[in-house]
Structure 1
Amino acid sequence: MSTPAWPEIRECADQAPYPVEVLPVDAQRAQQCLSAFGMTERSWLGAVMLHTGAILIDHGWLRVLGSGYEGRRGPLPDVVSAAAPSTGSVTVAHDVLGGHFVWRQSAPESPPTVHYYAPDTLAWEDLELGYGRWLAAMLTGWLSDFYASLRWSGWADEVAGTRLDQGIHTWPPPWTAEGKDLGTVSRRAISMTELISFHQS
């Protein structure tokens, strides 16, 4: 019989080379999310929904969605409300620059994998990892390499001071030649909805 996934997730978080914060969960809302997806806590996504409002990784640079969070630092949606049933995509996380991760099938009959929409290329990339392998990688050190070209001096304090429903808008934007060095561009916090829309428009 399969065992709950949360102890394994918790162990990865405890061993992370950067700060990981598990935001509090509303038990009733968590159960509603599990029921909506027909999942159990034996899956990594089910365990994240059941045990977390969200997970903040590396000073909040990456916000992994759980069963939703409402707090003084700003709200985060739950995984169910962030899903797009018409496309079969489930938004599972977003980063402070407006990049976002969805879990979906690349082709019929293929297992779902995590895809990333990058703010510096304006393109989708299939990371070829299932949800569990992707989250384990992000918790255990891959995040630093993944975002190495998008960091600037003092980023940690700036990110930690950004509300959870906001991201950091940069100008010139990171997909332009002038905007590649985020240490030299103009940066300001705007709503995450507005930031994602800006990158996709």
Structure 2
Amino acid sequence: MRSLAELISDDRSAWAEIEAAVSGSPYAVELLPADPDRAADCLRRLQVATSSWLGALVYGTGGLILDDGWLRVLGSGHPRRRLADIHEVNERFEPAGLVVAQDILGGEFVWRQGETDGRPTIHYFAPDTLRWEDLTLGYTDWLYAMLAGAADQFYLSWRWPGWRDEVAACPLDAGISTAPPLFAKDGRDLDTVDRRPVSMSELLIVKHDMADQLGA
């Protein structure tokens, strides 16, 4: 196991690249402040250097919040804002890989071995299909793309009138549950379904249990 000193690369840190991507983003992006002790512990356990975007974000922030909380990219956590750290989330859900982000509807982004050439890529658990999709992008390319404008296209069909106010009012340890669910044929129009905030744990348990039942 590498020491904290070996993981922190001040001269080669990716933090400046992250700040530049955030500054140039067309979205409202919030970088939650990191508690130094908490951040150091998370980085040590993660064993990813700050020369990478993943290591730099975990060490430098409590998390990255895009579009008032629609997307929550995990860092070292921020208890006051009720955002768990990257290890707490992975201890709860334990998918095949590392959960690096979650969205308001219970979608999960996981960094794991790709399905084509075997390199690690971001996979998305889609709440409308209950299936995992290989996005074929590494962590850095995926996060850069989302910050640069890809989030609009990615979530285009799921945005409803007034969504921003509902999302902003939802705590960061919660998501929005819909009835009928998004994966049902009559649940695709999010403007007409019933929507309510529930804990993220509850939202994910329901979706993954249903995926198991359907063999998705």
Query: What TM-score do the two structures reach when normalised by structure 1?
Result: 0.93
Structure 1: distance between partners of 2:95 and 2:185: 32
> Percent identity over the alignment?
49
Aligned residue number for residue 78 of structure 1: 85
| From 50, 66, 70, the counterpart of 2:59 | 50
Tell me how far 1:80 sits from its aligned partner.
Answer: 2.4
Which residue identity is paired with 1:82? V
Q: More displaced, 98-107 or 1-10? A: 1-10
Superposition pairs of residues 22-61 of structure 1, within 5 angstroms: 22-61=31-70
**Aligned AA (1:145):** Q
How far is 1:194 from its partner?
Answer: 0.2
Which of 166, 169, 174 is residue 158 of structure 1 equivalent to? 166
Cα RMSD, aligned residues only: 1.9
SS in 2 for 1:11: helix
Q: Secondary structure at the match of 2:122?
A: strand
Where is the helix percentage greater, Structure 1 or Structure 2? 2
Distance of aligned partners of 1:108 and 1:141 in 2 relative to their CA distance in 1, 3 Å threshold = closer
Q: Which amino acid aligns with 1:122?
A: L
Which runs of 4 or more aligned residues in structure 1 lie more than 4 Å from their structure 2 counterparts after TM superposition? 84-88
Indicate which of 180, 187, 193 corresponds to 1:179.
187
- Distance of 1:9 and 1:36 partners within structure 2: 21
Specify the alignment match of 2:20 in structure 1: 11
What is the number of residues matched between the two proteins?
199
Structure 1 gaps of 5+ residues are: none
Corresponding residue of 1:115: 123
TM-score between both structures, scaled by the size of structure 2: 0.87
Structure 2, unpaired ranges of 5+: 1-8, 210-216
